[in-house]
Structure 1
Amino acid sequence: MKFKQKLMILGTILSATSFAGSIDYLSQQDAEYLAHPAMVGKIGVSGAYYNPAGLVWLEDGTYIQVNNQTHLKDYSMEYNGEKFKSDKASPAVPSVQIVKKAGDTAYFFHAGAIAGGGSVAYGGGIATFPEIANKFQGMLGEKFEAEFLSGSTIHGQSYYVAFQGGIARKFNEAWSGAVGLRLVDAERKFKGEGNFEIAHKDIPNLKVNPKFDIDSERTAFGASGIFGLNYHPNDKFNLAMRYETETKLDFDNKESKLRKGFKDSVGVLGDKFYDIIGKDPAIKQWMSEGSGRRNLPAVAALGASYKVAEKTTLLASGNYYFIKEAGDDLGNFDHYDNGYEVAVGVDYELNEKWTLMTGYQYTNTGANEKTYTDTDYVLDADMYSMGAKYKYNSQLDLMGTYSFVQYKTDKNLKDITYKKRVSAIGLAAIYKF
């Protein structure tokens, strides 16, 4: 818990829905990922997350890698000409890897934000609010007019702090394996207000003002297993795989204001309005009835690296997310297909001090127009990356990286349009004892 609090002090953590990954997962677990996301087949300290079985091929010693990512985000949603935006940045997204390698054995530890919905602040509300007004109108009939008047800033947070560790071991001169355990502490929050007006067309003074008022917090704790396998026949070629079991997360939801807000403002109609809200997929998981499973899917990853020349190494990797098999009590994953990512990258050793890196990744989230809501929309994306590593001395490496993510613009079945842009800067220091 103390480490989780330190991460929160350093800054709110960005969502998978806003960067890389599928469903809630965050693929960018360290700064090097922002230089070339094809990390699974690479041997390095980053392997404490991406390729634990490959850690046994490092030189003997103890390694610490400290990372920070800064994310600049611009999200928007639009409905019937009304636009709602969030441009809240995430200035500090920290993570750390520790590896101790001795002989044929390596021990590893990684801590960071494994998943989450991050931190957003939509000025004036969200696009679901005017859409809800249309639902009120449909319930009351043609003699009434229902209108969304205004909203406070809607704040959303979702962060899943993870601690994982394990052991890797050589089987022979070419093969190695790893096993590990991950613990996940998850928290999701949704807070804000929306003001509506319902008026009778023939009776000017007959007006009521329903109020959407929510302060929801959902928490869960879970664990998963990590298994790795690595094939390293020579100094030029490396092949690796990683499998993570599904993480069971049974969320406990606390929310008491939403029903009360409708009852206080419109009396007997309050329960009917609350029922309308409860059928909206963007809101229902945040209501008092919203406790239940929202598991992290199992993940399979495969990657390779090949040194094609003395100074040039090519990288390729992919992640596959078993979303359709994931436990989900509230319908969050309904209509999803399994998601995947494919990535390529290049390392070029400019000289003894500098290594240049670049890469590309395509993300297919498995989502479609039936899955998008204002509080859960994961869009397919292209990610373009670059970076540089500087060897300060025999013990210390420094790294600077940058990624730009271009998202596909899309609409849901209610004709709400979703757009995103994200840029990210990564910094890291790797020290060997």
Structure 2
Amino acid sequence: MKKSIAFLAGALTAAFAFAGGIENKTNMSTGYLRNPSRNVEAARPEASFYNIAGTGFMENGLHIEVGDQFIIKEYANTLATDVKGSDGNIYLKDGTKYNDETTVWFYPNIDIVYKWNNFAFFGNFGIYAGGGKLEYSEGTSVTALAFMDKAKPYLDSAIAAKAAAESYAVAGDTVSAAYYGGLAKEAGAAAKLLAATAADHSLTITSITYGEQIGLAYNLFDLVSLSAAIRFLQGDQKLTLTSDYFNAISGGEGNEVGCKSFAFGVSPVFGAHVRLFEKLDIAAQLQVKTIMNYKVNEVTGKTIAGQIGDSGITEDTTFHSDLPTALNLGVGYRVIDPLYVSASFNYYFNKSADCDTVIGTNSYDDSFEIAAGADYTINDFVLVSAGLAYGKQGTTSTANNVFNPILDSFQIGFGAEIKPIKILTITAGGTWVKYFDTSYTVSKNGENYDIDLSKKLFMFSVGATLKLF
């Protein structure tokens, strides 16, 4: 069965090639969930991420915020085309749905600001991209199509060889009949193996980019705050494809094929915040592209993995999966003393980033987000918030991510802050996201297959902020 490695590697190449996506900032906080317009934040420690110059307007003292987000989600990709073989049988049916419903229970953020007169020193920790594990227990439409795409030529060969064998048998040429009969049996076995793998495999993907950011802000005359920071990112990726048929194909290396990779990146962040008439805030922040050069440091199923792609996946394989440059703009206005309204705009320069994966490349257009929200202080103990946001992604009908669909979205956030004592603030927030389903087209040997992509997501978060002095 080792000669089956070549055609299986081709199938895996197509499967792994779609593992990438647009990596934008995802460092959520409880404040973001209750009001997604964060770009003029200047009162809470989360400003150390969303509006670093805003830390220059915070109250003197040490502010520490800790939070955790809980993510309930369903990612789905559904075949919108029957996949038939040359024998007329339907091997993958229109409407076959593949989904992931992994709940994320731990998605932390920590923000710290020390404000001293005109200076603010700050730092934060969070998940800047990715964010967890995807488990497709029945595979995905793309991996199933990849295996079936490789099964079809063997099925065609088996049918043709069988017809030839029967023809020679009728003519009395037993030698030729036996030869073509053997070819039909061999090709049929290969086609059967790949078709069975298409129907019986699983895929697990883990992608997390941890980030830390430290910086300094300086406030001039309570009018302008300027800030600079440096961020450090550590990316971990793991991809595993499992099938009961891999062990026989690889000659005893097990039923898993996959790899682990790691990257480290450093980049600067710059910000400015202007406050006019003590009511109007205008802020801008630039997050410079972070180059993330991943290196594979562990490979499972080396025989098969070594034949995937142009050079194979080995423990020396490298690829880039950068975080793009992002421009964050915001404006806020205190309408009356208890009511503060704001609007935010984020633009992601995706074209400036290399969106490679361990096996292939992706090309996306730039994208943007726009948000608006309000905070209302009911009394000295309670503040309530709400906000809306819309995100337009830089995808096309042929550039998307089947595993983690990248979809335009509309979200509603809501939540509250409660201050039981002067130095402690407890926060809770939730956000519901409406994703707009889209279709994604995969081309295989001149044939187009449509895949419907969808997402469902609800996030809830709790956090606490201490002002120690």
TM-score by length of 2: 0.77
1:428 aligns with 2:463: yes
How far apart in 1 are the matches of 2:422 and 2:300?
Answer: 58
CA deviations over 1:100-148 (Å, ceiling 9, x no partner): 0011000001001111252111112222232013321344361344514
> What is the one-letter code of the residue matched to 1:165?
I
CA deviations over 1:298-333 (Å, ceiling 9, x no partner): 111001111112321111001111110113455966
1:186 aligns with 2:235: yes
Alpha-carbon spacing, 1:128–1:287, altered in 2? closer, same or farther (3 Å): farther
Within 5 A, what are the aligned runs for 1:272-421? 274=307, 278=309, 291-328=318-355, 334-414=362-442, 415-421=450-456
How far apart in 2 are the matches of 1:329 and 1:111?
Answer: 25
How far apart in 1 are the matches of 2:338 and 2:383?
Answer: 9
CA deviations over 1:68-105 (Å, ceiling 9, x no partner): 11111111122233222211101121111110001100
How far apart in 1 are the matches of 2:386 and 2:337?
Answer: 17
Partner of 1:239: 282
Q: Is the deviation greater in 92-101 or in 122-131?
A: 122-131
Alpha-carbon spacing, 1:240–1:254, altered in 2? closer, same or farther (3 Å): same
Contact 1:195 1:209 in 2 (8 A): no
Partner of 2:30: 31
Contact 1:129 1:194 in 2 (8 A): no
TM-aligned CA deviation for residue 287 of structure 1: 7.2
Partner of 1:11: none
Partner of 2:15: none
Within 5 A, what are the aligned runs for 1:156-305? 156-194=205-243, 213-254=256-297, 256-258=299-301, 260-261=303-304, 274=307, 278=309, 291-305=318-332
CA deviations over 1:27-59 (Å, ceiling 9, x no partner): 343111000110011212211111111112111
How far apart in 1 are the matches of 2:151 and 2:403?
Answer: 23
How far apart in 1 are the matches of 2:360 and 2:150?
Answer: 24
Identify unmatched segments of 5+ residues in structure 2: 1-17, 80-93, 159-190, 443-449
Alpha-carbon spacing, 1:333–1:341, altered in 2? closer, same or farther (3 Å): farther
How far apart in 1 are the matches of 2:216 and 2:61?
Answer: 15
Name the SS of the counterpart of 1:32 in structure 2.
helix
Q: Which structure has greater helix proportion?
A: 2
How far apart in 1 are the matches of 2:141 and 2:314?
Answer: 18
> What is the one-letter code of the residue matched to 2:276?
P
Contact 1:147 1:196 in 2 (8 A): no
Higher-Rg member (1/2): 2
CA deviations over 1:247-299 (Å, ceiling 9, x no partner): 1111002454456259xxxxxxxx9xx56xx48xxxx9977685211111111
Partner of 1:40: 39
TM-aligned CA deviation for residue 430 of structure 1: 0.8
Within 5 A, what are the aligned runs for 1:60-99? 60-79=60-79, 80-99=94-113
Name the SS of the counterpart of 2:138 in structure 1.
coil
Contact 1:337 1:367 in 2 (8 A): yes
Tell me which stretches of 4 or more aligned residues in structure 1 moved more than 4 Å: 207-212, 284-290, 328-333
TM-aligned CA deviation for residue 372 of structure 1: 1.9
Contact 2:430 2:460 in 1 (8 A): yes
How far apart in 2 are the matches of 1:85 and 1:286?
Answer: 27
Q: Is the deviation greater in 182-191 or in 168-177?
A: 168-177
> What is the one-letter code of the residue matched to 2:285?
R
> What is the one-letter code of the residue matched to 1:223?
V
1:142 aligns with 2:156: yes
Contact 1:294 1:332 in 2 (8 A): no
1:109 aligns with 2:123: yes
1:151 aligns with 2:237: no
Q: How many residues align?
A: 388
Aligned sequence identity (%):
22
Contact 1:158 1:186 in 2 (8 A): yes
Contact 2:438 2:453 in 1 (8 A): yes
User: CA RMSD, aligned part only?
Assistant: 2.7
Identify unmatched segments of 5+ residues in structure 1: 1-16, 198-206, 263-270
TM-aligned CA deviation for residue 172 of structure 1: 3.2
Alpha-carbon spacing, 1:289–1:382, altered in 2? closer, same or farther (3 Å): farther
How far apart in 2 are the matches of 1:215 and 1:186?
Answer: 17
How far apart in 2 are the matches of 1:208 and 1:183?
Answer: 42
Q: Is the deviation greater in 101-110 or in 285-294?
A: 285-294
> What is the one-letter code of the residue matched to 2:365?
D
How far apart in 2 are the matches of 1:117 and 1:94?
Answer: 10
